[in-house]
């Protein structure tokens, strides 16, 4: 099992208001620290039209990280692909891969907020079709080939086939598909793309979705033996169990209630989305995430909580160590403990 850290969304929230110039400066500092302690990657997150200035431009921020680091991989977790022009994104992906000398992990998601689709003039009902088309364009442009042998074609752009330039450094650029539901898993599996599971899934459900991926890939004649199966997990490592319980868990609870209440991301047992208008049910759902899908405590506790993921087929964790309201000093202390005391115990490669 290997580890990246995330998710940096550059949010100035009501609980932790900061100037965005400060947040972006800290992004570079956090990336440099993650590289220093040995993490494989740092992951960004995208949304738009939200009060806190949520990061709307992942490739731009990725270029900033590339210039501040030497070996750290840059993950997008995730770019909301159907809301973008796929040709421009393909060009941006290859450009960032050039800038970073081949350090990009390009993660994409379907997106779900009506306001984001409406504001860019795209019908939410068309998102699945746009996702399929864009993934095909990206899969073609992410691979190297002699000039003229890798055209990009899209029926609604006319008959002209265009080649994406510049070429990426990697062959191919790793593409990750974020998955909440089964359709997203199947979409990734048919193409042999890496999978990034939601932090809403507990370990058992994660294993079921990994199994679905393998079955779908086999039916499609796709080799899934080298696919990476990742998951988002809220992770915080502290030498003091009491401090983790009294400080970190309330911090995560506040983050979930403020952010996910507005996003209506969590659901009740019947699958109905929960918002601020249902405070009791929202709090219950947030407590379920903390209880089932978070690893918070001493190194021994975190190792025990994460160890089962490997047994259900997950081989990569994006550890959500950035919960917005923590100080950089506290965040770096938790990241270092994760890198030096937890990751080596779980990594078959012996590195974080």
Where residue 125 sits, what CATH number does that domain have?
A: 3.20.20.30
Q: What is the residue-wise DSSP string for 162-216?
A: B--SSPPSSSSPPEEEEESSHHHHHHHHHHT-EEEE-TTS-HHHHHHHHHHHHHH
Residues 6+ apart with CB under 8 A from 234: 199, 252, 289, 290, 293, 294, 295, 296, 320, 323
pTM, to two decimals: 0.92
Q: Supply 66's token pair.
A: 């590339």
Lookup result for tokens 């350090």:
103
Residue 276 lies in a domain: no
Residue 245 lies in a domain: no
pLDDT in tens, the chain (352 residues): 999 999 999 999 888 899 999 999 999 999 999 999 999 999 999 999 888 999 999 999 999 999 999 999 999 999 999 999 998 999 999 999 999 999 999 999 999 889 999 999 999 999 999 999 999 888 877 777 655 455 555 556 555 556 678 889 999 999 999 999 999 999 999 999 999 999 989 999 999 999 999 999 999 999 999 999 999 999 999 999 999 999 999 999 988 888 777 777 777 777 778 888 888 888 888 898 899 899 999 999 999 999 999 999 999 999 999 988 899 999 999 999 999 999 999 985 333 3
Domain extent, residue 92, equals: 2-235+299-336
Residue 147 lies in a domain: yes
Q: Distance (Å, rounded) from C-alpha 332 to C-alpha 338?
A: 10
Q: Supply 314's token pair.
A: 């997950």
Q: What is the pLDDT of residue 153?
A: 53
Quick one: which of 72, 5, 81 has its CA closest to 44? 5
Q: Distance (Å, rounded) from C-alpha 127 to C-alpha 90?
A: 18
Residue 88 lies in a domain: yes
DSSP H or E stretch at residue 318: strand 316-320
Number of domains in the chain: 1
Residue 241 lies in a domain: no
Residue 126 lies in a domain: yes
Q: What is the pLDDT of residue 335?
A: 97
Number of residues written out for the chain: 352
Residues 6+ apart with CB under 8 A from 241: 297, 298, 301
Q: Distance (Å, rounded) from C-alpha 189 to C-alpha 217?
A: 5
CA distances from 18 to 52, 55, 297, 344 (A): 10, 14, 27, 34
Q: Distance (Å, rounded) from C-alpha 133 to C-alpha 112?
A: 18
CA distances from 181 to 132, 196, 272, 280, 293 (A): 16, 11, 14, 25, 17
Answer whether 62's CB lies under 8 Å from 104's CB: yes
C-alpha 214: how far from chain center: 21
Q: What is the residue-wise DSSP string for 2-36?
A: EEEEEEE-----SSS---HHHHHHHHHHHHHHHHH
Answer whether 320's CB lies under 8 Å from 233's CB: yes
Q: Supply 55's token pair.
A: 């990061």
Q: Distance (Å, rounded) from C-alpha 33 to C-alpha 19?
A: 21
Answer whether 168's CB lies under 8 Å from 118's CB: no
Residues 6+ apart with CB under 8 A from 164: 87, 90, 91, 94, 140, 141, 152
Residue 45 lies in a domain: yes
Helix (H, G, I), strand (E, B) or coil at 105: strand
Within 10 Å of residue 145's Cβ, how many Cβ atoms? 12
């Amino acid at each position: 099992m290997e580890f990246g850290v995330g998710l940096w969304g550059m949010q100035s929230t009501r609980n932790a208001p900061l100037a965005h110039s400060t947040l972006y400066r800290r992004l570079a500092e956090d990336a440099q620290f993650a590289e220093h302690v040995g993490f494989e990657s740092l992951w960004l997150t995208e949304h738009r039209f939200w009060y806190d200035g949520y990061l709307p431009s992942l490739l731009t921020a990725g270029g900033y990280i590339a210039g501040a680091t030497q070996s750290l991989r840059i993950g997008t977790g995730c770019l909301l692909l159907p809301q973008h022009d796929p040709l421009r994104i393909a060009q941006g992906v290859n450009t960032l891969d050039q800038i970073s000398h081949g350090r990009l992990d390009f993660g994409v998601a379907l997106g779900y907020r009506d306001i984001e689709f409406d504001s860019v003039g795209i019908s939410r009902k068309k998102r699945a079709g746009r996702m399929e088309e864009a993934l095909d364009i990206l899969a073609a442009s992410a691979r190297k080939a002699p000039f003229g042998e890798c055209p990009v074609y899209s029926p609604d752009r006319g008959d002209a086939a265009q080649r994406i330039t510049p070429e990426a450094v990697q062959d191919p650029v790793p593409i990750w598909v974020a998955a909440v539901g089964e359709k997203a898993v199947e979409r990734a599996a048919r193409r042999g793309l890496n999978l990034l599971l939601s932090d809403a899934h507990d370990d058992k459900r994660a294993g079921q979705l990994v199994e679905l991926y393998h079955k779908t890939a086999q039916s499609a004649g796709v080799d899934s033996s080298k696919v990476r199966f990742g998951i988002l997990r809220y992770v915080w490592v502290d030498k003091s169990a009491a401090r983790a319980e009294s400080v970190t868990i309330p911090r995560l609870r506040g983050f979930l209630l403020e952010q996910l209440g507005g996003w209506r991301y969590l659901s009740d047992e019947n699958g109905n989305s929960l918002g601020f208008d249902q405070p009791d049910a929202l709090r219950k759902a947030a407590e379920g995430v903390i209880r089932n899908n978070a690893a918070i405590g001493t190194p021994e506790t975190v190792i025990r909580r994460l160890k089962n993921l490997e047994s259900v087929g997950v081989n990569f964790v994006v550890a959500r160590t950035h919960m917005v309201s923590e100080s950089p000093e506290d965040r770096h202390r938790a990241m270092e403990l994760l890198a030096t005391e937890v990751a080596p115990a779980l990594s078959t490669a012996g590195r974080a």
